[in-house]
């Protein structure tokens, strides 16, 4: 564990999410924006059974955020989906991203038979494979999955 790294389950949008919003927009990603919008309009509050939002702070600063839902693209309630995972560029390489996804995986293990996700930018898929995910080239709405 990286000193100063704190992984926490949260029940709302973190009040200091603006720095993540700004950084993600600057990189051309809408992950954090979609997370906040879904929360604010009530369409996705990660509050169904098995769902969770995890934040990661490094020395008190919010550096990563992500959630786990029932997979909205799959009709099976035993399938979860890791969504809206974003790590601030300044925190990449610190272990914050791995800590976030491992916390989501640990939670998913108790709630779902498997989890799916869509890894966006090139190279992100390698990150998930290193954590034990398998590529799903033939699955619709998914690039990777992890079976429990």
Pair 69, 119: CB distance under 8 Å: no
Residues 121, 22: Cα–Cα separation, whole Å: 18
Q: How far apart are CA 26 and CA 36, in angstroms?
A: 16
d(CA 82, CA 98): 13
- C-alpha 6/C-alpha 49 separation (Å) is 24
| C-alpha closest to that of 85 among 58, 46, 110, 53 | 53
Which ranges in the chain belong to alpha helices (H)? 18-26, 31-41, 96-111, 124-130
State the pLDDT at residue 123: 85
Is 114 strand, coil or helix? strand
C-alpha–C-alpha distance, residues 3 and 57, integer Å? 11
pLDDT at 17 over 70: yes
Tens-digit pLDDT profile for residues 114-135: 999 999 877 899 999 999 999 9
pLDDT of residue 1: 59
Give residue for tokens 């990286």. Answer: 2
- The pLDDT tens digits for 41-80 are 999 999 999 999 999 999 999 999 999 999 999 989 999 9
Tell me: the pLDDT tens digits for 67-77? 999 999 998 99
For residues 33 and 21, the answer to whether their CB atoms sit within 8 Å is: yes
For the chain, what percent of residues have pLDDT higher than 70? Answer: 99
| Helix, strand, coil distribution of the chain in percent, nearest 5 | 30, 30, 40
**Complete domains list, the chain, with CATH:** 5-147 (3.40.630.30)
């Amino acid at each position: 564990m990286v000193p100063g790294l704190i992984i926490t389950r949260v029940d709302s949008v973190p009040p200091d999410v603006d720095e993540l919003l700004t950084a993600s927009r600057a990189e051309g990603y809408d992950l954090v924006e979609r997370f906040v919008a879904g929360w604010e309009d009530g369409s996705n509050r990660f509050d169904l059974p098995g769902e969770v939002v995890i934040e990661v702070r490094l020395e008190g600063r919010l550096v990563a955020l992500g959630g786990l839902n029932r997979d909205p693209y799959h009709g099976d309630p035993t399938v979860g989906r890791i969504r809206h995972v974003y790590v601030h560029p300044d925190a990449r390489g610190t272990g914050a991203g791995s800590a976030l996804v491992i916390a989501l995986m640990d939670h998913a293990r108790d709630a779902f038979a498997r989890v799916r996700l869509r890894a966006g930018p090139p190279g992100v898929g390698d990150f998930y494979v290193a954590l034990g995910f398998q590529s799903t080239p033939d699955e619709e709405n998914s690039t990777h999955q992890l079976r429990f």
